[in-house]
Structure 1
Amino acid sequence: MTRPALLRDSLRLRLLAGTLVWILASIAVAGWGLDGLFRRHVEQQFDAELKTHLDQLTANLVFDERGQPSLSAPLSDPRLSRPLSGLYWQIDRLNRGDAPVLRGLLRSRSLWDTVLEVPHDALGDGAIHRHRIGGPQAARLGVVERMLYPSGRPDLPLRLIVAADEALMDAPAQRFGGMLWLALGILGAGLAVTAVVQVAVGLAPLSHLHKALSAVRNGEAQQLTGDFPAEIGPLVDEFNTVIAQNAEVVARARTQSGNLAHALKTPLSVMSNAAALEQGEFARLVGEQVETARRQVEYHLKRARVAAAVNVPGARTGVALALDQLAKVMRRVHAERDLDLQVFPVAGSLCFRGEEQDLHEMLGNLLDNACKWAKHRIEVRAVEEQEQVVITVADDGNGLPAARRDAMLQRGVRADEQVAGSGLGLAIVDDLARMYGGEVMLADSPLGGLQVELRLPACPTGAS
């Protein structure tokens, strides 16, 4: 089964897949958004810190009587005094042109012997501009600069520069990102477990419903019982109503079959009695036809009853007990023939999913036929194969040619007109078996006669 088909056929997987995809997408978007927000916050803090140092550098800048710049006090951040610390300041002097005259006129101790190469921009007095340049030890520096035009020497403007290693900004952002994705991963795992539990709990009533349906199908209950959620309750009520209606239909069909049987028996009995009082060929013919009509009526009434009952849920019959009872009956009925009727042990759990009287009807016909045709021995076995009850009845009689076996399953066909019977036995068995979704097969018996194999639906595994 392909994955799309698996998702389509499983409600549980569809719910879990949808929930997990939504959780994954939500966490991914949340992580991307939070990480971006934090990085922007760190960048703003980074720029604000550079701006603060630039303002402090501007405030501490003084000029002597010759117009030479100097700092009235060192800047407060100790990193500016530690070589190659990642935080630097520098003052350049420009001439009237755009090319710098002197880079690093003043600079922080942290620059050591390095001079920052900042591109020159034409800025107004006090204007601030930002750059990204390479710095000491191949570091990437974020830079803010400000142009300052001294009042005494406006022709020699100064450029004040503060720079910091962007690693000071990237490191906390990376640490935060790692912690963020770890936390979101744990959150996602927790939400996934919650989704699995939620789906399991939410669909648990469906499992309960499945068990209740199995109980009805296995004959352990006549209707769905149990506590179901309000969303499933109406479905259970409707299903129980359908079961009750089906039971009423079956009961009505059986009643009508019985009424019809009684209505026909009386005129048939009158005709039979009248024919018995008369002599001659006509009376004999009427008696035979009345008896044939009675058998046909019984056959069709049985078929109508089974057709009505076969789809009713809950019917189930133990095979071992039925075979044992019928074997005792057949031994008594055919006692004068001194037959060896051997029923091999049958598992007590072997169960036919259907009406008891229908199983008795089928097995009774098979055993009666075998007893009529057997010379001495009959063997009966019953096993379960592929969710079917397989019952074999083998005798040591004369057997039946393969060419005539299909015809023997038709109504009114008899193997030998000299043997008593109506020719309906195997036809009834075949019709009943087919109504239950089973079949009857004829084959050569290991004992030398005929073997009849009856296959019927078995109760599901685990049904008691």
Structure 2
Amino acid sequence: MLIWRYRGANAARQSSRPDMRSLRLRLLLGTLLWIAASIMLTGWGLGRMFQQHVARQFHAELQTHLDQLTAQLDLDAQGRPLLRLPLSDPRFQRPYSGYYWQVDSPNERGLLRSRSLWDEALSVPADQLAAGEMQRHHFIGPQDQAVVVAERKISVDGRELRLTVAADAELMNAPVARFQGTLWLALALLGGGLALAALVQVYVGLAPLRRLQAALVRVRQGDSPQLAGRFPSEVMPLVEEFNSVLGQNAEVVARARTQAGNLAHALKTPLTVLGNAAGAAENRDSELAHLVNDQVGIARRQVDYHLARARAAATARLPGARTAVQPVIAGLLRTMRRLHAERGLELRLLDMPAALAFRGEEHDLQEMLGNLLDNACKWARSRVEVEVRAEETHGQGRLLLSVADDGPGVPAGQREIILQRGMRADERTPGSGLGLAIVVDLARLYGGELRLQEAASGGLQAVLELPAAQ
């Protein structure tokens, strides 16, 4: 039976926090910050340039009107100022149009003014001007308009006159505001396009790293012995070096297995000779023969135990190891039915998906499950059940293999004791006390553990947790 458990809430909280170690996030943030800074600087610079251009054009137009007013100004027979011809801009004739002119004397304001001023006059600051000097001012004009003023002091037939031309400042500010609005809209669209291009560039540029990650997952899950695929030239040296390391590790494991096998043969041969000699007819009943047989058996079990640990230590962290669980359990159940055929036990495997796999060597899985099944069959009264579950813990797949019997069980205070090497729950039951210890050591080498608890039937339930291959 398969039980999937997800830590959805924790995963959602973790995924909501940006990981500043992410290369993709760093590239995106750097690019977006640069784009934003460039857009802001460009917008500010273009806006200032256009504003200065409009201001220069505006002041040049005021100076043109002032020059035209100066050229057309004359005095009548009574010495009062008059215009020989009206100014060319028709806005000076429309009331409150925003364009105004005025002629003042040192003692009288508004001697002559444009029709656009209607019945008002410009309140020009009473500052002193030299003859022919021109000045510019900003102040409040007719109908509370902010106006820009250009003024000049001239002398006509010995009479000093002050000429003033003014224009509504909004006529200068409005084009600037419209231009800046259009400019910032265009720059915003440009920035959005550049941000999208940066996003696509980062996604496409980091695609080889995602393929490399997928290749590493295939190696870890045992689907491929090496990194396979086509990668950019910048990534290929890393792939080649990693494949070289995988090849060297495989060679080291192969040599370790060969040496372990050679050591096993080297030790088991003299042990077999000693056992055969002690079991000979002439020595079978002697006290020495019994002693030798006992010690040879202990030596064989110790050799098997330590060789199993050495072999597992060499292969437990080897990438690419993968073992299907269901065939191993099915084979072990067939073996146990033959070994314990005289007891008529019911050995049952509960429903499980065929895709479940152990991330490790097949022989190690057989060693661990075989010891658990053999121990359960020794103590069971009539039934042994095997259950396999899968769960997700901290983003990693785990297998929970449970072997439960309906025997007398083990008190809670003794469960940790019988997991120690050489300790047995009952000395009257055949065994060496190494089976569960071997399971504990092998499980730890793979980053797993063995837990003993009470079964639903009252017997003992051994739960073996191991890494799962996806």
Whether contact under 8 Å (1:7, 1:14) holds in the other structure is no
Matched, 1:255 2:258: yes
Residue 56 of structure 2 corresponds to 44
- Relative to structure 1, the CA distance from residue 158 to residue 31 in structure 2 (aligned partners, 3 Å threshold; closer, same or farther) is same
Matched, 1:91 2:103: yes
Residue 140 of structure 1 corresponds to 146
- How many angstroms does 1:62 deviate by? 2.6
CA-atom RMSD in angstroms: 1.9
* Paired positions, count: 451
Aligned ranges 1:21-60 → 2 under 5 Å: 21-60=33-72
2:362 counterpart (334, 339, 356)? 356
Q: 1:172-199, CA deviations, whole angstroms, 9 ceiling, x for partnerless residues?
A: 1111111111111111111111121111
Secondary structure of 2:111's counterpart equals strand
- How many angstroms does 1:267 deviate by? 1.9
1:437 counterpart (439, 447, 454)? 447
Matched, 1:157 2:153: no
Q: State the distance in 1 between where 2:405 and 2:137 align.
A: 106
Residue 109 of structure 1 corresponds to 115
Matched, 1:302 2:308: yes
- How many angstroms does 1:5 deviate by? 7.3
- How many angstroms does 1:3 deviate by? 11
1:206 counterpart (201, 205, 209)? 209
Matched, 1:319 2:325: yes
1:380 counterpart (386, 395, 403)? 386
Residue 9 of structure 2 corresponds to none
Q: State the distance in 1 between where 2:35 and 2:14 align.
A: 24
Aligned ranges 1:280-295 → 2 under 5 Å: 280-295=286-301
Residue 10 of structure 2 corresponds to none
Matched, 1:396 2:406: yes
Matched, 1:76 2:88: yes
Q: State the distance in 2 between where 1:3 and 1:458 align.
A: 23
Whether contact under 8 Å (1:347, 1:383) holds in the other structure is no
- How many angstroms does 1:408 deviate by? 1.4
1:266 counterpart (264, 269, 277)? 269
- How many angstroms does 1:319 deviate by? 1.5
2:137 counterpart (131, 144, 166)? 131
Residue 406 of structure 1 corresponds to 416
- How many angstroms does 1:64 deviate by? 4.0
> Which shifted more, 63-72 or 281-290?
63-72
Whether contact under 8 Å (1:343, 1:379) holds in the other structure is yes
2:456 counterpart (431, 435, 446)? 446
Q: State the distance in 2 between where 1:365 and 1:384 align.
A: 21
2:30 counterpart (18, 27, 30)? 18
**Counterpart amino acid of 1:361?**
E
- How many angstroms does 1:249 deviate by? 1.1
Give the structure, 1 or 2, with the largest relative contact order (CA under 8 Å, sep 6 or more): 2
Matched, 1:423 2:423: no
Q: State the distance in 2 between where 1:143 and 1:232 align.
A: 68
Matched, 1:9 2:21: yes
Unaligned runs of 5+ residues in structure 2 are 1-12
- How many angstroms does 1:403 deviate by? 2.7
- How many angstroms does 1:126 deviate by? 1.3
Aligned ranges 1:330-345 → 2 under 5 Å: 330-345=336-351
- Relative to structure 1, the CA distance from residue 69 to residue 448 in structure 2 (aligned partners, 3 Å threshold; closer, same or farther) is closer
**Counterpart amino acid of 1:35?**
G
**TM-score under structure 2 normalisation?**
0.92
Q: 1:262-303, CA deviations, whole angstroms, 9 ceiling, x for partnerless residues?
A: 111222222222222335212221222122112111111111
**TM-score under structure 1 normalisation?**
0.93
Q: 1:28-64, CA deviations, whole angstroms, 9 ceiling, x for partnerless residues?
A: 2221221122111111111100000111111112334
Matched, 1:458 2:464: no
Q: State the distance in 1 between where 2:147 and 2:82 align.
A: 24
Q: State the distance in 1 between where 2:113 and 2:413 align.
A: 116
- How many angstroms does 1:414 deviate by? 2.6
Unaligned runs of 5+ residues in structure 1 are 95-100
**Counterpart amino acid of 1:430?**
V
**Counterpart amino acid of 2:291?**
L
> Which shifted more, 443-452 or 212-221?
443-452
Secondary structure of 1:458's counterpart equals strand
Secondary structure of 2:266's counterpart equals helix
Matched, 1:329 2:335: yes
Give aligned-pair identity as a percent. Answer: 58
Q: State the distance in 1 between where 2:414 and 2:126 align.
A: 113
Q: State the distance in 2 between where 1:222 and 1:167 align.
A: 76
Secondary structure of 2:192's counterpart equals helix
Residue 236 of structure 1 corresponds to 239
Residue 97 of structure 1 corresponds to none
Matched, 1:183 2:193: no
